[in-house]
Amino acid sequence: MADIPTLEAAPEDAAAEPKGKSKLIIIIVAALVVLAGGGAGAWFFLGHDDKGKAAKVEKVPLAPPQYVAMEPPFVVNFEATQLVRFLQITVQLMTRDLETVEMIKVNDPVIRNELLLLFGNQKYDVIATREGKEKLRGAALESVRKIVKQSGGKPEHVEAVYFTSFVMQ
């Protein structure tokens, strides 16, 4: 008999193998596309774009400053190397909150009392320097904030104490 060609099993496995590899590659590519799309979607939906950051970082514009003059000027005497000296200070308080302005005005006698006691306890050598004056300004701010807090206000709304006149004799 003549040789009849028969199909061998090996060529069938060889043909099936490339088809299986191409399916695997398609699945991997599809998975990568889905993951990349999910990552990009999460990036935008979670607010990681530049516009979202700018909106979050942007601060609310501040109200204009309100200055409350403590009139009349403070005049105290203090000791300086065996001499009695006089100190005259004109003070203005700065806030941006109208309720705090009213609270300061209502508590004017209490604030004036605290500041008079503070200014009268100073040493000439200390407040003659710029650093001493700045330290005194900080202490005055803390005194005013303490009174505002005791009155039921928000002490952080008193932003600054300014000396608009400072005379030592």
Distance CA 71, CA 68 (A): 9
Please give the order of strands across the beta sheet that includes 83-95.
66-80, 83-95, 158-168
Per-residue pLDDT of the chain (169 residues; tens, 9 = 90+): 556 666 555 555 555 556 667 788 888 878 777 777 777 777 677 765 455 555 555 677 888 999 999 999 999 987 767 677 899 999 999 999 999 999 999 999 999 999 999 999 888 888 989 999 999 999 999 999 999 999 999 999 999 999 999 998 8
The answer to whether 154 and 100 have CB atoms below 8 angstroms apart is yes
pLDDT the model gives residue 8: 58
The Cα–Cα gap between 88 and 168 comes to: 6
Q: What tens digit of pLDDT does each residue of 150-164 get? A: 999 999 999 999 999
Q: d(Cα 110, Cα 163) in Å, to the nearest integer?
A: 19
Per the structure block, which two tokens stand in for 16?
A: 């099936």
Instruction: Give residue 33's pLDDT.
Output: 78
Residue 64 DSSP SS3:
coil
On whether the CB atoms of residues 80 and 125 are closer than 8 A, the answer is yes
